[in-house]
Chain A
Amino acid sequence: DAMVIQNPRYQVTQFGKPVTLSCSQTLNHNVMYWYQQKSSQAPKLLFHYYDKDFNNEADTPDNFQSRRPNTSFCFLDIRSPGLGDAAMYLCATSRDGRGNQPQHFGDGTRLSIL
């Protein structure tokens, strides 16, 4: 089945130690999104790629970066994680980003900071 896969499902890192989360998709969608979701809150969009074009949300901290080396993969890099970055990180895709298209989500990576 075509899908969005996130690895790892659970990630533990130390305060200030860089961490990378991975997302891959077999849907061949043009747009890939990264969301941060804290407990009992709605997902918050961090940024998205439309093909190779990176689009950052205005309030996304500089600590968060992303890479999309090809259509299938997208990475979320947190350069110096703080305790406030502990959250679920969700990757999603959509075919070409238009409003009438649903986004397809992976199962997320739960990030813990020690």
Chain B
Amino acid sequence: AQSVTQPDIHITVSEGASLELRCNYSYGATPYLFWYVQSPGQGLQLLLKYFSGDTLVQGIKGFEAEFKRSQSSFNLRKPSVHWSDAAEYFCAVGSNRLNQAGTALIFGKGTTLSVSS
């Protein structure tokens, strides 16, 4: 069964420091991978996605993620964190379910990022 694991429930980073949020997936084929960010009281905003090709993908707000097939990982990184980056971050894998027309987006449980000054 497909699954997404985000090992870190909560991370605190100093403003200006680098950030890496971990994501591991379990999927039989080449996965479609996404990172979403959710600010308090808001919906989810797409940061970046990976389908194929270059394993290092660039997203919005200065984020990037690297797909590593050998490690089944899709970690999110940012070189210098800003206070406004404090939010909940969700990794997700998209799958085509054979018995339904729509797509299941399987989320990890999320990582809460706090930014200290």
Contacts and interface: CB of A to CB of B under 8 A. Distances in A.
Interface string B9-52: 00000000000000000000000101010000111111001010
Given A98-B96, A99-B32, A101-B94, A107 B105 contact: no
Interface stretch (A14-22, A43-51, A59-67): A43-51
Contact of A55 (B51, B95, B102, B108): B102
B41 A101 contact: no
A70 interface: no
Interface in B79-117: 90, 94-96, 100-105, 107-110, 112
Contact of A90 (B44, B101, B108, B109): B44
Contacts of A99: 32, 94-96, 103
B4 to A, nearest CB: 9
Contacts of A90: 43-44
Chain B, interface residues (CB within 8 Å), range: 20 to 34
B5 to A, nearest CB: 11
A94 B45 CA distance: 13
Interface string A66-103: 00000000000000000000000010101001111111
- Kindly name the residue among B42, B49, B101, B104 whose own CB sees the greatest number of chain A CB atoms within 10 A: B101
A114 B92 CA distance: 33
A31 B44 contact: no
A94 B51 CA distance: 16
6 contacts: A90-B44, A99-B32, A99-B103, A100-B32, A107-B43, A108-B43
